[in-house]
Amino acid sequence: MDVAKVIVDVPSKDTDRPFDYLIPDRLRPWVEVGSRVGVPFGNRTMQGYVVSLHPRSDIDSARIKPIQSVLDFAPPLSPDLVDLSVWMKERYACRQITALQSMLPTALKGKAERYITLADPSEREQGSREGVLFSVQPETEGEQNVLAFVRQRGEVSLEQLNRAFPEESASVKALLARGLLREYQQIKDKLSKKTMKALELAVSLEEAQEALNNFPAKAQRQKDVLAYIVEMEPFLPLSLKEVLTTVGVTAGTVKGLADKGYIVIEDMEVFRDPYKGRNFEPTEPLALTSEQKQVYSRIIHQLDERNHGVFLLHGVTGSGKTEIYLQIIQRCLEQEREAVVLVPEIALTPQMVERFKGRFGDRVAVMHSRLSSGERYDEWRKIHEGRASVVVGARSAVFAPFTSLGLIIMDEEHETSYKQEETPKYHARDVAIRRASQAGAVVILGSATPSLESYHAARSRSSSEFEPELLEMPSRALGNRLPEVRIIDMREELKEGNRSMFSRPLHEAITARLERKEQIVLLLNRRGYSTFVMCRSCGYVAQCPECDISLTYHQKSNNLRCHYCGYAVQAPEVCPDCGSEHIRYFGTGTQRVEEELAKLFPGIRVIRMDVDTTTEKGSHEKLLKQFRDKKADLLLGTQMVAKGLDFPDVTLVGVITADSALNLPDFRAAEKTFQLLTQVAGRAGRHHLPGEVFIQSYTPEHYSIIHASGHDYLSFVKDELKHRKALHYPPYCRLILVTLSHEQLPLLVRVAENYASDLKRRADRRGWFGSLDRFAAEALDVLGPVASPIPRLKNRYRFQCMIKWRGDMDAVSLARQVAEELQDSVRDTKLQISIDVDPQMLM
Ligand SMILES: Nc1ncnc2c1ncn2[C@@H]1O[C@H](COP(=O)(O)OP(=O)(O)OP(=O)(O)O)[C@@H](O)[C@H]1O
Ligand SMILES: [Zn+2]
Ligand SMILES: [Zn+2]
């Protein structure tokens, strides 16, 4: 193997392919598929990843350059992750380098630094052999000083040299040109490992004990230190700081002992453990209920066969899905394989972490975005070095560098946060399934409200890529019933003169809980704030006649627009349905609700949890702990309070307005509403006290609200699928959202129109273009271009096209090809085209 193909970290279309490099002999043992290397690229040194090894290159060997350095002791990427990056590139129309980088902690994004050393004389001779005559001696005092400085240090970074001699950059240049100094580049990671001073015995234990017996009396302090170290011998090396404080000596004393040769002071690497010093109560597996047992045995059977399989676990809230995960992970670990547990960022609460750490202790690594990049790096290394065999983490944990993966669990699989909104715009569910199929691992997608895509795939088992087996758990593990849900018609409240945001029944229910000292969770869905228009008298919401989604209010032009197809109308003054003037832009903030609560229920203790109160590190955790310790009566929040929480004394859940989720301009609005209501309702009455739920709404007849109140997932799915089918939305087709942006509007409009027409023409030529009516097994349709929901961002105008397609054709590459050709022909570097395959955020 003499040649390595390397993907180099240059984010440009033309460089997104492997380049050949020679493997020098000295590096041969270190270069593997997945190695991170420093390579010459142009006149720079760049970071890259080895994607394959070959005996020779097709390129003239004189033209290929050698790899300069290998950056890690062990390759940070495994061959299966490298394969996965190739798949991601195709599937999400992203660059392979972007895919590779998304798999690693940012700490490993190295950058080249320039270093200066003395050149060795042989290199200098070469210069004169070419017939150029120059002095090989320093010519000025400045040059002399620079040379002396470099000689003394051996090597210095160019930056350091410039700092030391701010006036002598010309001298440095001259010395480089005449070959007295040499420059080279080296990749340096942004983040270094953290070290601390530690003590270790420099002699054997016996020798140390011997020394203690004969220690000179006047060095009593040193003797104390040595005695302590001997006593603590099984725990060596000890941190210097710890020794200083425990023995109560100065660093000088310890140094003296080191000078005598009994101990050494060394730099020891320390791991940043975000959960350090925290005790997790160990837990034992619970005896499974019969429902749990069935699910458990089916999955274990698959796991034992070491065959890939995908399961969709549909279990109601509180059915004990987490306990099943724990026991299946146990089995996976017994097989000496590893497990990944994916949890939505927002549900990655300390409570969740506790459950996994409680069962598997230190073998659990945790990865989420609230960790510092140093902590993330260390958790990653814990996995990479085999010190952890379970990872619990958000989306990106799907790339955990395990080598014998047995299991990937995705909890709350319907959550939209599994889709990454930045490039690479991947969906962790698809990546998980792909990765598991490479590894022969089992995937469990768990939810009380599975996404329609997953549920439909499980029911029809029609798509070849994704055919989960459906497993159901319809009852709660503790045998208690799902809470009673009441829908409150807010139009009636208004009619009867109640203008407050609290209906009378909810008001009474809160009062009763305060009296009984039980707890309350109050959900306010603030997403979609002020973007849609609703009549408070009759519940009318302005919708697009074509696309069946809510129109978005644009204040500037005072009109309502559909951001799928571009339809626009004037914003109404009175309700077109009932003539009422109570038509307004909707949305209330959590802060206002908090004020209102204080007014209506004097003395109520409220914990508010939203983006404003949870920015600080650990605040999320602190607030939840306060609530669990019953330091508050009511937990008020956005979606954050809806998921994964398990508090025994919560007996009331209130939803201020269900409609704000329902009227998001998104074809998934009903699904999201149903999911949110079901999830939040599931927080009530989870243990011994019965629960009650109040949902306030201006459109109480909507099927998503009615079915959520009946905990009736199946009926919801039936109704929702009917709509999706009629309007050609997923799961009956797939979507690609193409967003184009530029600083100049006229140019952008022209380009966007060209994009749409090129795409249509090209699709038509292949016989793909057409309507997605129900008879078409294969079709592609293009909507737009229209202004994006955020029409201008960072001084750039934004337009978008929506591609709807169905069938086996490769629509993603077509969308990408047309984008690339357009970009080439426009030749304006300011034009950006972004492709989002299977978009989740359509607002
Ligand atoms: N076999 C069992 N025996 C006794 N208690 C159990 C058992 N399984 C689960 N539980 C308990 O039931 C409660 C609900 O279980 P768990 O949180 O695992 O449900 P879940 O399905 O993950 O819920 P959700 O989707 O609502 O978050 C927990 O308090 C859990 O400890
Ligand atoms: Zn009305
Ligand atoms: Zn429309």
> If you write DSSP's letter for every residue of 526-574 in order, what string do you get?
-TTTTTSEEETTT--B-B-TTT-SBPEEETTTTEEE-TTT--EEEPPSS
SS3 label, residue 644: coil
Please tell me the predicted confidence (pLDDT) of residue 368.
81
Task: Report yes or no on 817 lying in a domain.
Answer: yes
Ligand 1 centroid to Cα of residue 477, in Å, is 6
Please tell me the predicted confidence (pLDDT) of residue 747.
92
| Kind plus residue range of the DSSP H or E element containing 491 | helix 490-495
Which one of 161, 188, 215 terminates a domain? 188
Task: Please tell me the number of the ligand nearest to residue 542's CA.
Answer: 2
Please tell me the predicted confidence (pLDDT) of residue 841.
79
Which one of 156, 188, 220 terminates a domain? 188
Tokens of residue 805, six digits: 């397609």
> Is position 733 annotated in a ligand binding site?
no
| Same domain membership, residue 55 and residue 24 | yes
Determine the Cα angle at 66 with ends 63 and 70, to 5°.
155
Which residue ranges in the chain fall short of pLDDT 50?
A: 124-133, 527-529
Query: pLDDT tens, 355-368?
Result: 899 999 989 999 88
| Same domain membership, residue 490 and residue 415 | no
Task: Report yes or no on 241 lying in a domain.
Answer: no
Q: From CA 725, how far away is CA 722, in angstroms rounded?
A: 5
| Same domain membership, residue 755 and residue 708 | no
Candidates 314, 398, 411, 403; CA nearest to 356 is: 411
Residues framing ligand 1 (Cβ under 6 A)? 286-289, 292, 315, 317-323, 448, 477-478, 644, 646, 682
Please tell me the predicted confidence (pLDDT) of residue 192.
57
Q: From CA 408, how far away is CA 317, in angstroms rounded?
A: 21
The count of domains in the chain is: 5
Task: Please tell me the number of the ligand nearest to residue 665's CA.
Answer: 3
Q: From CA 23, how far away is CA 69, in angstroms rounded?
A: 10
Please tell me the predicted confidence (pLDDT) of residue 477.
87
| Same domain membership, residue 678 and residue 642 | yes
pTM summary value: 0.79
- State which residues have CB under 5 angstroms from ligand 2, the bound ion: 535, 537-538, 540, 575, 577-578, 580
| Same domain membership, residue 464 and residue 335 | yes
Sheet architecture: strand order including 36-41:
19-22, 3-8, 44-54, 36-41, 69-70
Residue 791, preceding bond cis, omega within 30 degrees?
A: no
Task: Report yes or no on 220 lying in a domain.
Answer: no
Burial category of 283 from C-beta neighbours within 10 Å (exposed 0-12, middle 13-18, buried 19 and up) = middle
- CATH number of the domain that 15 lies in? 3.40.1440.60
Which one of 705, 726, 747 terminates a domain? 726
| Same domain membership, residue 513 and residue 419 | no
| Same domain membership, residue 701 and residue 613 | yes
Distance of CA 306 to the CA centre of its chain: 28
- CATH number of the domain that 765 lies in? 3.30.70.600
| Same domain membership, residue 406 and residue 295 | yes
SS3 label, residue 584: strand
Where would I find the H helices in 111-157? 121-129, 141-153
Q: From CA 533, how far away is CA 570, in angstroms rounded?
A: 12
Please tell me the predicted confidence (pLDDT) of residue 132.
43
- CATH number of the domain that 357 lies in? 3.40.50.300
Task: Report yes or no on 560 lying in a domain.
Answer: no
In the predicted model, what is the mean pLDDT of the chain? 86
Tokens of residue 743, six digits: 């600083």
Task: Report yes or no on 669 lying in a domain.
Answer: yes
- Number of Cβ within a 10 Å radius of residue 12: 9
| Same domain membership, residue 515 and residue 469 | no
Task: Report yes or no on 829 lying in a domain.
Answer: yes
> Atom of ligand 1 at shortest distance to CA of 317?
26
| Same domain membership, residue 494 and residue 347 | no
Ligand 2 centroid to Cα of residue 540, in Å, is 5
Contacts of 708 (CB under 8 A, 6+ apart): 485, 673, 674, 677, 678, 681, 695, 716
Task: Report yes or no on 419 lying in a domain.
Answer: yes
Ligand 1 centroid to Cα of residue 757, in Å, is 53
| Same domain membership, residue 519 and residue 646 | yes
Please tell me the predicted confidence (pLDDT) of residue 127.
41
Question: Torsions phi, psi of 430, nearest 5?
Answer: -65, -40
| Full residue range of the structural domain in which residue 421 is found | 290-473
Q: From CA 655, how far away is CA 736, in angstroms rounded?
A: 33
Task: Report yes or no on 277 lying in a domain.
Answer: no
Q: How many residues does the chain have?
A: 843
| Same domain membership, residue 720 and residue 619 | yes
Q: Half-sphere exposure of 224 toward its Cβ, with a 13 Å CA cutoff? A: 14
SS3 label, residue 676: helix
